[in-house]
Structure formats: C-alpha cells, structure tokens
Structure 1
C-alpha cells in the first residue's frame, strides 16, 4: 500500500492522458486552448450565429455603412460592433473572417508539414547527393523572409484560396523540412534503426514505422507555431490587397478597409477585427509554447 501511495502522479497513465494531465497544470495554456476552441467553433458555425451573411452582396445596404456599434440597421437587427464601409455587420464579418483565417492557416500548415516532413526525412535517410540537393534548396529558401516570398508568389499566382494556400506553403515548408531533417538524422544513427535495416525491412517501412513517429514531437511544436504564422501572413497579405477577393473579406482585409477611417473617429472598423486577430494568434502561440515545453525534456521539472 505504501508503494502505491508513493507512485508519481502520472505513472502508468496512457501517454495522451499524461500529456493532458501535464498540460492542464498550466492554467494560462488551458485558457488559451479554450479560446482557440471557442474561436474555431464560431468560425465553423458562423452561418448559424451570424446575424448577416457578409458575403451576400444583395443584402448589403450602403445606407448602413460606417455606422457605430449599437446601430439598428435597415435589416431590423442591431449591429453590436457597428458596420464597415460596405455596410456589412462587423460582428458577422469577423466570424466569417475567422473562418477564412483558420481554414487557410490549418490547410497551409498541414500541407507544409506533409511536404517538409517528407523532404527532411528523405534527405536524412538516404544522405549523399539527395541530402545535399534537398537541404541546399531548403537553406536557400530559409535565407529569404517568408513575407517577401509570399508576396512575390501571391503576386504571380493571383487571388484565390488555392493560390494563397500555395504561396503560404511554399513560404513555410522549409521550416518543417529543417526540423524533420534534424530529428531524422539523429534517429537514423540509433541502434533500433540499424536493427530494422538488418532484418531487412524496406526503406518505406523503416521510415513510416520507426523514424517518422519519433520525429513527430518537434514537428507538432513547429506546426502550432507555423499555423499562427500562416494566419498572420494571410492577414498581412490581405491587408496589402493581395489576399482573397474583396467579396470575401478576411480579418486582414477588414482591418485594411477601416484603416483610412481611423483618424475620423470610426475606429471600430479596424480595431475589432484587429483584436480578434490578435486574440487568435496569441492563443495559438500560448498553446504552442506549452506543447513545446512538454516535448522538451530539458524544460521538464
């Protein structure tokens, strides 16, 4: 009985259960996770919770444009956060803008993770000329700022979700490739990989069953950071007019639409979308920092 009482609190728990038990010890990270979940829910159910469809141009009235928070518009409902220059209900536009930002951030992050991981592990596993070719391309890309590369690619590809996601993937996959390469290079030298190769197992089996699972912790950490960076990059491109079309405003475009009116007292057009964007990015980064700390054995208490 004494031995049972002295066991560590997280011993003999499933890895996911142990991870969550450690995660919830950080109340700030738990709060950030709740905020992320709430904002994702608002984005997913935007058509159900929004008083207006801001993308339906037929329902917009210029008579309602640039109205302050609390204004009762021609549609008969109260615009809690006011309206933008096109007469959109700002609260509805923020919900739909969150939808776009989260969709693009997650899609770009997942695709960049897949491409970068495949390239990094391939380079580490096979070595030689393949390693040199892949890693020199990755190093060359990392020498350019992500925002500059994304600007050039969006300008060349044009507007649209697919083009924007493609530009963000091209600007960010190198971070995953470098992380995957470092982790796989370390795993490649270990005895269990050499034993698997001596069996012999096919290279595909060794990579997917042995090397890849052990490379995932650092990649998950990078993924959380890069999703936040994708959302930030998308907002920057939209603010500069290189994001999605004006008929589908994201948070960055909403901020841009209100920027000319900041000095005239119509602060709400830019401020409220900006607050929503900041909350989303900060919440994701806090969750990512906590995940990084838990996957880093040097930071464990």
Structure 2
C-alpha cells in the first residue's frame, strides 16, 4: 500500500547504523595498529604542537658567528645546537620543529579542504548523473591531465606566496582525486535497495545524498585523505623550495632544503639532511597508515 512505502524505506535505510560498522572495524583492528607509522606521525604532530616549548632557540633569529655549525656529535659541533646551524647561524633543530608546524598545518588543511570539496562534487556528480556527471567528469579529466606541480607553481606565481594561498592552490588541484573515486562509489551505491526505496518514498535528492550516500562514502574519503596528504606534503615542500610557497624567513621544511642547497657541496649537509629526512618519514608513515586504514575499512580486503 502507498502508506507503507515510507515505512519500508525508513526501515531499509542504513542511517541508524551507517557509521557504526566502520568504527567497529577500526576498534577491532586497533590491536594491530601499525606502530611505526603511528609513532612517527604522533611524534611529528606533538613536535609541531609543542614547538614553542621544545625548540631551544628562536627559529628565525640567527648569529653569524655560529653559522654552519655541524651537529653536536661531530667535531666542531656545539651542544647548544644539537643538529647544527645554517648559513645564517639559525638553529636547525628549532627550525625543524617550527617547520613541522607550518608544513603539516598547510598540508593537512589543504588535504581536508580538497577532501571535503572533492567528496561533495563526487557525490553530486555520481548521483545526479546525466549532463551534471558529464560536465564534472570532463572538468576532472582536464584537471588531472595537467602536471600537478607545474600547475601549482604557475598558480603560486600568479597569486603570490603565503600559507593560505598555498592551501587554496593545493586544495584546488587535488580535489579531483577525491571526486573521481567518490563518484565511482556513488554510481554503485545509488543502485542499492535502500536508495531506491528512498526515491519511491519521495525523499529529496539532497536528503538521499546526505543521509544515505554520504555515510557510505566517508570511509573512502578518509582513506584517500591519508594517502593524498603525503603527496600534498611533497607538493608544499616543492613550492617552498622554489620560493613560491611559504615565504621566508618562516621555517617550512621546503625552505630549509632551499637554504641548505648552497652549503651542501661545501660539506654542510645537516641543513638539507634533516628536513629531507623528516619529509621522507612523514610521507612514508602517512602512506603506510593509509594502506592499513584501507584494509580495515574495506570488508572485502580484510578477507584477503
């Protein structure tokens, strides 16, 4: 009977339990958390948050009498500068800690903004279909065809350096990665019985996308974020290295690499080694954590 359709749609809706399976899988899988990636990311986040407390020196002020000091455990090193100093006499450890704050804040914010934008566009494109889907996918195809770093450099030169500008640029480039994957998920989800019943129950498109589609694609978006954040960190470091990202004298990791490149051939390798090592470890840890989340949040992969 017509009056029974809404009740059927309501009872078939996954809304009351849409979020619980994913979090239950994460809770059950917490016993085998990847210790090394979580430790690296946790330590980096703590260093970024408490940089003001942990840093032994001001990251911007330098002393030319102490320039190019090697790490403390090498000949000529100074215990007051554990990781040495750069060409302006600035403490490398202090700049590394404050650089973690700037680089991670810019990269994580860009990844979150890109994820929110790409997820929303992917849901609308996949569910609405027809000309909306065609238009969005053509834009995504054109966007992905552009070389990401080169395009980011072009945009950064146009708008100028700055943390907020870099967040907008990177989010504007990487949202397409989310949109394409989420759109594919939605194409499958909209054929499910509970979505069809919601349509028969005369639910609006907005309600269906918000209550029945979004909770079932948010897991994918979270996994994508952990995988893409590593790419965004490298992109931000590249822009800062080239002088179109975070403006000096702020201690972003990419800027530290740029500052150290001149002294590298002269044997002053510490300024380049430590930020490069930090970027490598954080990106590797983010990718490993993303792989773990992908397996834990996908029941099919858990059975492999």
Structure 1 length-normalised TM:
0.89
SS state of the match for residue 79, structure 1? coil
SS in 1 for 2:53: helix
Contact 1:112/1:173 (CA < 8 Å) preserved in 2?
yes
The Cα offsets for residues 122-141 of structure 1, whole Å up to 9 and x where unpaired, read as 11111121111111101110
Deviation of the 1:24 alpha carbon: 3.3
Name 1:47's counterpart in structure 2: 52
Task: State the superposition RMSD in angstroms.
Answer: 1.6
Count of residues in correspondence between the two structures: 280
Choose the corresponding residue for 1:182, options 179, 184, 199. 184
Q: Deviations over 1:51-92 (max 9, x none)?
A: 11213x4xx2222221111244xxxx7100000112111001
The residue that corresponds to 2:205 in the other structure is 203
Per the normalisation by structure 2, the TM-score is: 0.88
Structure 2: runs of 5+ lacking an equivalent: 1-19
**Greater relative contact order structure (CA < 8 Å, 6+ sep):** 2
* Aligned-pair CA distance for 1:202: 2.0
Aligned to 2:249: 247
Equivalent residue, structure 2, for 1:90: 92
Which residue is equivalent to 2:235?
233
Deviation at 1:298, TM superposition (A): 3.6
Deviates more, 1:221-230 or 1:197-206: 197-206
- Give per-residue Cα distances to partners, 1:167-189, cap 9 Å, x unaligned: 10111010011011111111111
Q: 1: distance between equivalents of 2:202 and 2:276?
A: 56
Other-structure match for 2:13: none
The partner residue of 1:212 within 205, 211, 214 is 214
Q: Is the 8 A contact 2:227 2:287 kept in 1?
A: yes
Taking structure 1 as reference, are residues 53 and 285 closer, same or farther at Cα in structure 2, changes over 3 Å only? same
Residue in 2 aligned with 1:267?
269
